[in-house]
Amino acid sequence: MHEIQFKLILAVLLLMSTDIRLYYQRNRKGFETAVIKHERREKYLIALFGLGLIPIIFYLLTSRLKPFSFSLPARVRWLGAGLIFAGNLLFIWSHRALGRNWSPLLEIRRGHTLITEGPYRFIRHPMYAAIFLIGIGVSLLSANWIVALSYMLPMTNMYLFRISDEEKMMAEQFGNEYKEYMRNTGRLIPKLRF
């Protein structure tokens, strides 16, 4: 396989992710915010994800990032493509389940409901899990340090700050209902039950 072929596959898969996001973002009309947390920090995080796209575009369109490539067997890079694809499917499933409750920020909307169906039956953050899968996939498929780091940096941030603040906000809003829900689900990986 030539690098150009991996680049093409990566471009197609990432266009799919972007399309999914844009599609659901359009369907989010009539959103009224009731509570918002850490607005400025969360906006920076979104900007950081946006900045992370620049190295990916450089990787896709030029060969300037070649010095930062690492060598991986072709089948591992294919596995990366599979992870991005799986991440995209999980992304769609999560968006469908969350519906109008979705927000790019940490917000509670008027008439917000607690979703425990679809992928939310197993994990509390399927959308973030999808973003993680896509990030690992992008790193393996591109086999490039700069691309991998530019995705990992905002993801680490999201894991360290956003997830726990989101759970705190949900627990404040939904009280025991959320705490009960937390007992039965994992954050990103389903809880094993025997």
Please report, as ranges, the residues that interact with ligand SAH according to CB under 6 A. Answer: 94, 98, 101-103, 106-108, 114-115, 120, 125-128, 166, 170
Question: Rounded distance, CA 61 to CA 57, Å?
Answer: 6
Question: Rounded distance, CA 191 to CA 184, Å?
Answer: 7
Q: Cβ closer to ligand SAH: 69 or 103? A: 103
Q: Cβ closer to ligand SAH: 8 or 104? A: 104
Question: Measured between alpha carbons, how far is residue 129 from residues 66, 74, 89, 91 in Å?
Answer: 29, 25, 11, 9
Q: Cβ closer to ligand SAH: 145 or 159? A: 159
End-to-end CA distance of the chain: 44
Q: Residue 152 Cβ, how far from ligand SAH at the closest point, in Å?
A: 18
Q: Residue 12 Cβ, how far from ligand SAH at the closest point, in Å?
A: 24
Q: Cβ closer to ligand SAH: 147 or 169? A: 169
Q: Residue 150 Cβ, how far from ligand SAH at the closest point, in Å?
A: 21
What are the backbone dihedrals phi and psi of residue 153, each rounded to the nearest 5 degrees, phi first?
Answer: -60, -55
**Tokens 């599609």 map to which residue?**
23
Q: Residue 38 Cβ, how far from ligand SAH at the closest point, in Å?
A: 11
